[in-house]
Amino acid sequence: MKQYDIVIIGGGPAGLAAAVSAKNSGVDSILILERDKELGGILNQCIHNGFGLHTFQEELTGPEYASRFIEQVEDLKIEYKLNTMVMDITEDKLVTAMNREEGLFEIQAKAVILAMGCRERSRGALNIPGYRPAGIYSAGTAQRLVNMEGFMPGREVVILGSGDIGLIMARRMTLEGAKVKVVSELMPYSGGLKRNIVQCLDDYGIPLKLSHTVVDIKGKERLEGVTLAEVDQKGKPIPGTEEFYSCDTLLLSVGLIPENEISGGMGVEMNPVTSGPKVNESLETNIEGVFACGNVLHVHDLVDFVSEEAASAGKNAAAYVREGDRLENEKEIVLNPVEGVRYTVPGTICVNRMDEKLTVRFRVGGVFKNCYVSAYFDEERVIHRKRQVVAPGEMEQIQLTKEMLLKYPDLKTITVKIEDA
C-alpha cells in the first residue's frame, strides 16, 4: 500500500492551490486525486472573464486561472491521478479509491485535505409541480453544454433563481442568440453578486422579477412554457398574480450544496447552515489531520478567495505533517454568529496556533442597508465597521490579528453581528 504525507481530494481551484502551498511549505510527498479527466475542476467550463483580480491583479477567464495553478503543480512535480474516484476515507486517513488502470486501491495518508467543491441543488429539491418534460436544466449543466460540448439547450429561456451561474448563463444564452425572457427569484433580493446583475441582466435588458417563482410547468414531451406568480413574505404564491411565459428551456440556478458525502462518511462534524465541515483557525475539522477548503467548506463567490483559503489549508496541513497535532488541550475561542450573520468560517480559534492574521469569512441572512459589521470580544465591542449595504449574495469578512487576541487572555466568545447605524 502506498503512503503519502498529504492526500488532496479534488483537483479544482482549491485542491490545486492547497497542493502548491503544501509543497512550498516543505512537504514533498503529495497526491491529488481528481475524478474528472483533467485538472481545473469547474473553472474549465467558466469561460467568461472576471477571475484572478485579487490573486494575479489581472482579469482572466476560468480556464486561464486554472492553467496558472496547473502549471505550478507541474513545475513543482506534484503527483496527481485523474479519472480517479475516492470511494471512502476512514478516520485513520486510509483512502480507498478506484480508477480504470489500478482498479480499487488503498492509500495511507498522514493528512487529508478535502477540496471536493460543491454541486447544484436539483429540481427534485424544489418540488415544482407539473410533468417532467425535456428542456429543464440546472444552470451549470447548460453552461457545460454550451461552453464545452457545443450544444445549445434551447431558444426561448426562462431562468429560475438569481444565483451567479444563472445570471452568467442569461448573458451567455443571449450572446448565443437565444431569447432570455425573464429571471425569476423567490427571495426579495438577488442571490448573485451585484456586478453580475449589472453586467449580465441590466446590460442586456433582461428583466429580474424578485419575489416570484415558477408555480406550473406546461408541456409533456418538451417544455412549452412556465407560469410565474408573485409570492408573499412566507414564500407562498399569491393567487391572481400568475403570468404565463412561453419557453422551451427552463434553467435552474437555485443554490449550491457542498459535496460532503465522503466527509460525513468519515465522521467529520458538519455545520447545518453551510452543509460543510466545522473547522478551526487552521481549517482543520474535528478529525485531527483532516483539513477542508474551498466550496466544500462553504460556497464562495470569488475563486480568488478559494485559492487564498486553500493556500492556508495546505500550509497548515504541511505543519501538521511536520509537527504532529500541536498543543493538545489548548483553550479555544468560539465564534458566535448572531443577528443577521448566518455562520462564520472558522468556527473556533486557538490563539497559540493561529497565524499573525486570520480572515473570518461569513454571509448575512438578508439585505441590510446603512449598517455596521461588529465583533464583540465577550462583552466588549472591538470591531465596528460601517457598510453601505450587505447582502446574502456577497461574502463578507473581518480580519483578526494575533496581537489583538493576545490582549484578551480570558476571551471565550467572539460574537459577530450586524448592527443598525
Provide the H-helix boundaries in 256-336. 261-265, 303-323
Is there a contact between 381 and 406 (Cβ–Cβ < 8 Å)? no
pLDDT tier for residue 420 given thresholds of 50, 70 and 90: confident
pLDDT tier for residue 326 given thresholds of 50, 70 and 90: low
Cell numbers representing residue 28 in the block: 514533498
Look at strands 225-230 and 85-89 and give their pairing: unpaired
% the chain with pLDDT above 90: 81
pLDDT tens-digit series, residues 163-221: 899 999 999 999 999 999 999 999 998 888 888 999 999 999 999 999 999 988 999 89
Look at strands 79-81 and 156-160 and give their pairing: unpaired
Domains and CATH numbers, the chain: 1-119+256-324 (3.50.50.60), 122-254 (3.50.50.60), 331-421 (no CATH)
Q: Cβ–Cβ contacts within 10 Å for residue 421, how many?
A: 10
Which pLDDT does position 191 carry in this prediction? 85
The one-letter amino acid at 2: K
Is there a contact between 142 and 153 (Cβ–Cβ < 8 Å)? yes
Which pLDDT does position 117 carry in this prediction? 95
Specify the pTM: 0.92
pLDDT tens-digit series, residues 117-163: 999 987 655 677 777 899 999 999 999 999 999 999 999 999 999 98
C-alpha 30 chain-centroid distance: 24
Whether 325 shows a pLDDT value over 70: the answer reads no
Which pLDDT does position 329 carry in this prediction? 65
pLDDT tier for residue 309 given thresholds of 50, 70 and 90: very high
Is there a contact between 258 and 296 (Cβ–Cβ < 8 Å)? yes
Cα angle 296, 123, 224; round to 5: 145
C-alpha 87 chain-centroid distance: 22
The one-letter amino acid at 40: G
Residue 115: phi and psi, rounded to 5, are -145, 50
